Each structure stands twice: as C-alpha cells, then as structure tokens.
C-alpha cells in the first residue's frame, strides 16, 4: 500500500466507493500489528492495509461490509487461538480489539481530508474517537503531548481512542565517515529515513554506502533544500569546521529536535567560540549535544554509532 490508510480511504470515498476504516485499538503485548494499525474496506469487500497479519482480516472485512450497509460503528473483540497466533509469528494466543467505522456521521469526509492534508504537509495530527458514539475529531499535539512525543496511539482514561499521525522521522548525517556507515543502518532500524551529506565524492560514494541517499553538496545548501523540521535529527561527524559549522548554524536556526556534533571537549570549546562570534547565544549553543552520543565508553565506530542512536532516542522520547 503506497498511501496511508486515511488517505486511501479518502481516495476511495471521493471515487464514489462506500468505505469503512478498521483500526486496532487493543491487543496483546507482541501482536503482529501494533495498536493504531488500520485496514480500509469497501462495500464489495476490497481491502488495503492490515490489522492482524492475516488471522482476523476476513472477519473484519465481513463486519465492515455489514457496518457500511447498516451504518454505525462497531467494536470487534477477537480471541486468537494458539494455532492462529503461531501462524502469524506469535508464541501464544491473545486478544485483539478492532474499531470499525463506516464513513458517515462519526467519520466524515472532512476528517479524512484533514488527515491527508496533514500527512502531505508533514504536520503532526491525531484523531480522537469516542468509542461509545463512534464519533471522531481532529486533535493536535497540544491536546495529547505525551502521545505525540512517544508516537503512541492508544486508549485514554476517558474511554476514547487516539490515533497518532506524526510526520516521518529523519536523520541527516553530515560527513560520510566511518561512524556514519553503521549509523545509517541503526537509524533506519529505529524508523528514521537517513540522508548523508558530504561534498567529498570519495567519502560519500555508493560503494561505501550502498543504497543510501547521498547528497554531494555543501551542508548549508543541502540542508536548505531538505528543510529540517521538528522530526529531524542532525549529526555532524567531519571534524572540519568548513563542513560542520555551516550545518550546525543551519540546524540551530531550525526546529530540529536533536543536534549532535562529533569532537572532543577541546574541539567543542573552539566550536562554541566560533558560534558565539557568529551571533549565537548560550541558549542556542546549549541545544548541541557534544561530544556526540551517550557516554557508554564506546571506541569503535559501531559503538559510537550506538551511543549516538541512544542519545537521539532519549532526546526524542523524553523531551518536554
């Protein structure tokens, strides 16, 4: 599925198809699909997406077709048998609850349009659904800051269910050096889209970084095109002020949630002096994590990459 379920549901509805949106609202701890996973179904039984990895999709589709005909939402509660759970990669059975909402009073075309617009603009947005009435409303990070910070869809104390739609996470790495090689893989495994910037062709080569996005340009120009935002982490690794400083200055003028810079305390002291001379104040400079990474005693490139990834994760998930 090339589009997220809400955008696909919008496309189908605008094409005249009667549709329903199914969302996982509760499950056991190691489910094949996490809470918030969605499935789009039309009146003929066509579907896109997944709510269970295959073990309950058929029943969800039938229930959705009935809901489209009858109108009104429904909540499906499945007890997955040991055999069915094993077939989709689990060690034992469990419970899964799925909310099915046909397009109508509870889930409107305007709501789907707002979700699709936010996705296209890389803007955080959420959907709060009253499970008693099936009515959904758009929410922002101000309404549920912890849910947005943790990328966590789930049940709330008031009995509603919140679906979080955050923009994708990005990690921009300045300097295609040896530490960058393990770091790009770790970033991707943690859900980031990594981008490498290095004007030195010998460093940022496809041979050294097969399959990676590499921009062979000066960091300030590359970052101007990439437009880093509040879902972006920037890591500078070159040790060369001609490359690192323009990237750092650009990052400090943006909303990036993390900026980490390789170098010793002595190197960072010189960096701070240059930034102060360029007009940056103490609050700006305090945003920089330097020396980069958590102090885990790492020495080898992969160990340093682990420390960087850990610090990025800590900053993202624990920030106020």
Report domain extents, the chain.
5-165, 169-318
Q: What is the pLDDT of residue 275?
A: 97
Q: What is the pLDDT of residue 118?
A: 92
Q: Does residue 318 carry a pLDDT above 90?
A: no
Binned at pLDDT 50, 70 and 90, residue 79 comes out as confident
Q: Does residue 14 carry a pLDDT above 80?
A: yes
Helix locations, 93-234, DSSP H: 109-120, 145-149, 180-189, 219-226
- Give the list of residues 6+ apart from residue 29 with CB closer than 8 angstroms, or none: 94
**Annotation: CATH topology of 169-318:** Rossmann fold (3.40.50)
CB atoms within 10 A of CB 56: 22
Residues 238, 239, 242, 246, Cα dihedral to 10°: 70
> Could you tell me the sign of the dihedral formed by the alpha carbons of 145, 151, 153, 157, in that order?
negative
Percent of the chain predicted with pLDDT > 90 = 69
Q: What is the pLDDT of residue 90?
A: 46
E strand intervals along 198-275? 213-215, 232-236, 258-261
> Could you tell me the sign of the dihedral formed by the alpha carbons of 159, 161, 166, 169, in that order?
positive
Q: Does residue 122 carry a pLDDT above 90?
A: no
Lateral strand order in the sheet of 74-80: 47-49, 38-42, 19-27, 94-102, 74-80
Q: Does residue 151 carry a pLDDT above 60?
A: yes
Q: Does residue 26 carry a pLDDT above 50?
A: yes
Q: What is the pLDDT of residue 35?
A: 87
> Could you tell me the sign of the dihedral formed by the alpha carbons of 286, 292, 298, 303, in that order?
positive
d(C-alpha 102, C-alpha 86), whole Å: 31
Query: DSSP class of residue 26?
Result: E
* The residue to which tokens 């190197």 are assigned: 267
Q: Does residue 142 carry a pLDDT above 50?
A: yes
d(C-alpha 29, C-alpha 96), whole Å: 10
Mean pLDDT of 246-263: 96
**CA-based nearest residue to 37, from 89, 96, 90:** 96
Angle among Cα 135, 137, 138 to the nearest 5 degrees reads: 160
**CA-based nearest residue to 85, from 94, 98, 97, 76:** 94
d(C-alpha 228, C-alpha 253), whole Å: 10
Binned at pLDDT 50, 70 and 90, residue 1 comes out as very low
DSSP 125-162: EEEEEETTTTEEEEE-TTT-HHHHHTT--EE-TTSEEE
- Max intra-chain CA distance, the chain: 70
Query: DSSP class of residue 166?
Result: P
d(C-alpha 208, C-alpha 178), whole Å: 9
Percent helix, strand and coil across the chain, each to the nearest 5: 35, 25, 40
What is the per-residue pLDDT across 261-289, written as a single tens digit (0 to 9) for each? 999 999 999 999 999 999 999 999 999 99
Q: What is the pLDDT of residue 6?
A: 86
């Amino acid at each position: 599925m090339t589009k997220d379920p809400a955008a696909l549901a919008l496309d189908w509805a605008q094409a005249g198809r009667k549709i329903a949106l199914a969302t996982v609202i509760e499950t056991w701890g190691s489910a094949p699909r996490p809470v918030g996973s969605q499935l789009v179904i039309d009146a003929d039984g066509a579907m896109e997406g997944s709510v269970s990895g295959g073990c309950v999709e058929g029943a969800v589709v039938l229930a959705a077709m009935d809901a489209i005909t009858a109108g009104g939402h429904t909540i499906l509660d499945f007890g997955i048998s040991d055999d069915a759970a094993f077939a989709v990669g689990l060690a034992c059975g469990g419970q899964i609850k799925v909310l099915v909402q046909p397009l109508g009073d509870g889930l409107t075309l305007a709501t789907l349009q707002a979700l699709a617009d936010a996705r296209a603009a890389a803007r955080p947005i959420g959907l709060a659904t009253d499970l008693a009435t099936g009515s959904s409303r758009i929410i922002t990070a101000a309404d549920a800051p912890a849910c947005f910070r943790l990328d966590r869809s789930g049940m709330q104390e008031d009995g509603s269910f919140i679906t979080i739609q955050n923009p994708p996470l990005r990690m921009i790495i300045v300097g295609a050096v040896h530490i960058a090689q393990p770091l790009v893989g770790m970033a991707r495994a943690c859900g980031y889209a990594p981008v490498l910037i290095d004007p030195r062709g010998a460093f940022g080569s496809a041979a050294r970084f097969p399959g990676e996005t590499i921009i062979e340009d000066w960091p300030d120009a590359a970052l101007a095109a990439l437009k880093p935002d509040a879902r972006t982490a920037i890591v500078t690794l070159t040790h060369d002020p001609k490359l690192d400083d323009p990237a750092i200055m650009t990052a400090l003028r943006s909303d990036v949630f993390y900026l980490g810079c390789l170098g010793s305390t002595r190197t960072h002291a010189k960096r701070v002096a240059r930034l102060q001379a360029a007009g940056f104040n103490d609050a700006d400079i305090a945003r920089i994590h330097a020396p980069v990474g958590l102090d885990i005693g790492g020495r080898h490139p992969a160990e340093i990459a682990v420390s960087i990834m850990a610090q990025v994760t800590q900053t993202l998930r624990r920030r106020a």
